[in-house]
Structure 1
């Protein structure tokens, strides 16, 4: 079995996919093609589908006009090893979108992202409950996550 996430774009699907795949190493836009007119009530060529990977995750997408907007029920989480990678992704994805608390943001297409340090889960699940609490409390006060500040909170 294969599991593939599927995204519905009202418009600008190709621009979004090209942007996403340019940001995350190991990503590729595999193909984009129109859905033939005889299978759609839309004008020929106006509905398109695409296949792409982001890092190690498979995605399909459709551009087919308005349906349901993206919301927090689905987000893409990217775990970064360095603050430089985290900053680069954060700055690129927030452009034209909106930042939120705790490492969340919405990009210009409305898709929710969580840009987090790869080490965050380990820090928040530390066997020492005081260390885990300090990290969680520090993270809850942040918008963009700061690896050094999270490490400092863990150290006390």
Structure 2
């Protein structure tokens, strides 16, 4: 079997607005269809659906989208765009203006924390951060 798996995000009447926002933040993204109940879209080639399900359910930190960034410029870009109207959290986590949680993470983080000599120092350094600072992690 080769069943495709995609993500469905539940909104309170803002699905198309949210999809348009996300598509403006991520290159190689587009809305593929929309109607009053739902919108389908792709973010960097990943298929997603936004559902106008109503106020019954809200996003929480138990689910987040992770953006692996190659450099500080990418971290700064995504952090600025996604926190606009939202809120910062700790250790690279944020909530966007729709309440969806994101992790904006340097792609080298796994390698740094698994380094037997400096991994613990890296963890201590990023526990003090909101937005990741790659140079501080490298210097830890």
State the TM bucket, normalised to the shorter chain.
Answer: over 0.9
Task: Indicate yes or no: 2:126 matched with 1:143.
Answer: no
Q: How well do the aligned residues superpose, as a CA RMSD in angstroms?
A: 1.2
| Counterpart position of 1:59 | 48
1:71 Cα deviation from its structure 2 partner = 0.2
Mapped to 2, the partners of 1:122 and 1:28 lie a distance apart of: 32
Q: Which moved more, 1:108-117 or 1:57-66?
A: 57-66
Structure 1 gap segments, 5+ residues each: 35-47
User: Mean Cα displacement is larger for which, 100-109 or 13-22?
Assistant: 13-22
Query: 4+ residue runs of structure 1 moved beyond 2 angstroms?
Result: none
The TM-score with structure 2 as length reference comes to: 0.93
- Aligned counterpart for 2:96 among listed residues 107, 113, 120: 107
Deviation at residue 147 of structure 1 after TM alignment: 0.7
SS where residue 35 of structure 2 aligns? strand
> Which ranges in structure 2 are unaligned for 5 or more consecutive residues?
none
TM-score where L is the length of structure 1: 0.84
Q: Show the counterpart of 2:33.
A: 31
Q: 1:17 aligns with which of 5, 16, 19?
A: 19
CA distance in 2, matches of 1:118, 1:22: 22
* Cα shift at 1:30: 1.1
Offset at residue 28 of structure 1 (A): 1.6
- Compare CA radii of gyration and give the structure with the larger one: 1
Whether 1:123 and 2:108 are equivalent positions in the alignment is no
3-state SS of 2:118 partner:
helix
Counterpart in 2 of 1:2? 4
Cα distance between partner residues in 1 of 2:85 and 2:95: 9
